[in-house]
Amino acid sequence: MSHPRPFHSIANRWRIVTSFSLWGATYVGVRLLLDTPVAGGWRAALALVPLPFFLWLLVELIRALRVMDELERRIQLEALAVAFPLSLVLFMTLALLEIALPLDPANWSYRHIWPFLTIFYATGLTIARRRYQ
């Protein structure tokens, strides 16, 4: 009978760190390149370069979730249960504000909003970990 490898196995960590590093490097690289004058048609193709690395990262995170113990799964679920409603509040608020007054795209575009989602997840993770300590 084979047992699943623990989440913290070296192979699992290596795949997560590698996929995260490649996504992060390509994302930063693309952001820097898009700030320079690149020909129009190539801009869209260039913008999609980080996507396969991000998808790989998501697959690795889901794979890691599948081998976590029940307590860690519960913690992750509670983190998402906090992050999702907070994200909805953020988007609803911004949508209503955008109707009420013009929001400056230099400060409130998607590239500025998505980091809030990771902050909400980290907040949920902190709350859940404290609950189960």
Residue pLDDT, tens place only, 49-89? 999 999 999 999 999 999 899 999 999 999 999 999 999 99
Question: Cβ(16)–Cβ(57) under 8 Å?
Answer: yes
Which residue spans within 26-70 are E strands per DSSP?
Answer: none
Query: HEC profile for 69-97?
Result: CHHHHHHHHHHHHHHHHHHHHHHHHHHHH
Q: What is the mean pLDDT of the chain?
A: 89
Residues contacting residue 68 through CB under 8 Å, at least 6 positions apart: 7, 76
pLDDT for residue 102 is more than 50: yes
Contacts of 81 (CB under 8 A, 6+ apart): 124
Q: Of 79, 114, 119, which Cα lies nearest the Cα of 94? A: 114
By CB atoms closer than 10 A (0-12, 13-18, 19+), residue 80 is: middle
How many Cβ atoms are within 10 Å of 75's Cβ, its own excluded?
Answer: 19
pLDDT of 8 higher than 70: no
- Kindly report the pTM of this predicted structure: 0.76
Provide, rounded to the nearest whole percent, the portion of the chain with pLDDT above 90.
68
- Domains of the chain, by residue range, sit at 1-68, 69-133
State the pLDDT at residue 108: 85
